[in-house]
């Protein structure tokens, strides 16, 4: 409709890459080291009752583990850079396979990865991409991180995989019916949840506003915008 009316549509596709990548690593670290769970334990006064129990709080190291990136766009690549700094091995899958030696079909990636991160848009082809069948392919004790879109994951299937011990933990910044959250997730200490704050940093939000303003300024000057999503007649 905009195109037919001669109106430009633009977006800011790279505005929140660094913020979302940082949050992804935060969710990973919180899941593998049980940071949020430990925080709640201390706040409830439980630590005063039990004392020092290092075995109880055993997590796992990131070094040497395999991170599977489902979606290998700007955010996926930014996460890869951070993960490799922790000594992780990274593999990825994408809609259009590439010749990169670390590119895998989704099914293979799920079988190989210790941690799976989701970085794909929600489309008809990615709706419930992670479901009962694909969760069953994941390594026992694997961790799922979702900073993409809530509807990429079948939440009831995820709940069952966590309840049954198939997955070790999950880190979720997005939810299928957000801001409503599946009540079963509240009962699971191994699930780390944040309120869709992937892009919420001062720097990236300012950058997004500036990019949007630059698009408008270019159009008003009769120039092509930086990031068009259409081509008006």
Place 204 in a pLDDT band, splitting at 50, 70 and 90. Answer: very high
**CA pair distance 133, 201, nearest whole angstrom:** 36
Side-chain half-sphere exposure of 124, counting CA atoms within 13 A: 0
* Residues noted as catalytic: 149, 178, 196
**CA pair distance 120, 39, nearest whole angstrom:** 31
Other beta carbons within 10 angstroms of residue 61's beta carbon come to 11
Ordered domains of the chain (ranges, CATH)? 17-198 (3.40.50.720)
Q: Phi, psi (5° rounding) for residue 193?
A: -125, 140
Place 31 in a pLDDT band, splitting at 50, 70 and 90. Answer: very high
Q: Which residue has the higher pLDDT, 100 or 82?
A: 82
Residues in the chain: 233
């Amino acid at each position: 409709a905009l195109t037919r009316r001669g109106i430009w549509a633009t977006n800011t596709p790279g505005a929140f890459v660094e913020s979302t990548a940082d949050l992804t690593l935060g969710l990973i670290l919180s899941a593998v080291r049980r940071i949020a769970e430990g925080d709640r334990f201390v706040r409830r006064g439980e630590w005063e009752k039990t004392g020092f129990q290092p075995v109880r709080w055993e997590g796992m190291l990131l070094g040497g583990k395999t991170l599977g990136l489902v979606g290998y766009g700007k955010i996926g690549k930014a996460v890869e850079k951070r993960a490799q700094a922790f000594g992780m091995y990274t593999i990825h899958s994408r809609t259009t396979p590439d010749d990169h030696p670390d590119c895998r079909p989704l099914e293979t990636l799920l079988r190989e990865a210790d941690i799976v991160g989701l970085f794909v848009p929600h489309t008809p082809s990615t709706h419930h991409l992670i479901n009962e069948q694909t969760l069953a392919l994941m390594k026992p004790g694997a961790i799922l991180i979702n900073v993409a879109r809530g509807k990429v994951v079948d939440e009831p299937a995820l709940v069952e995989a966590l309840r049954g011990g198939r997955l070790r933990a999950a880190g979720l910044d997005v939810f299928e019916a957000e801001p409503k959250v599946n009540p079963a997730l509240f009962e699971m200490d191994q699930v780390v949840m944040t309120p869709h704050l992937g892009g919420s940093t001062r720097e990236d939000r300012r950058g997004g506003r500036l990019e949007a303003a630059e698009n408008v300024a270019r159009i008003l000057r009769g120039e092509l915008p930086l990031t068009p999503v259409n081509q008006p007649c």
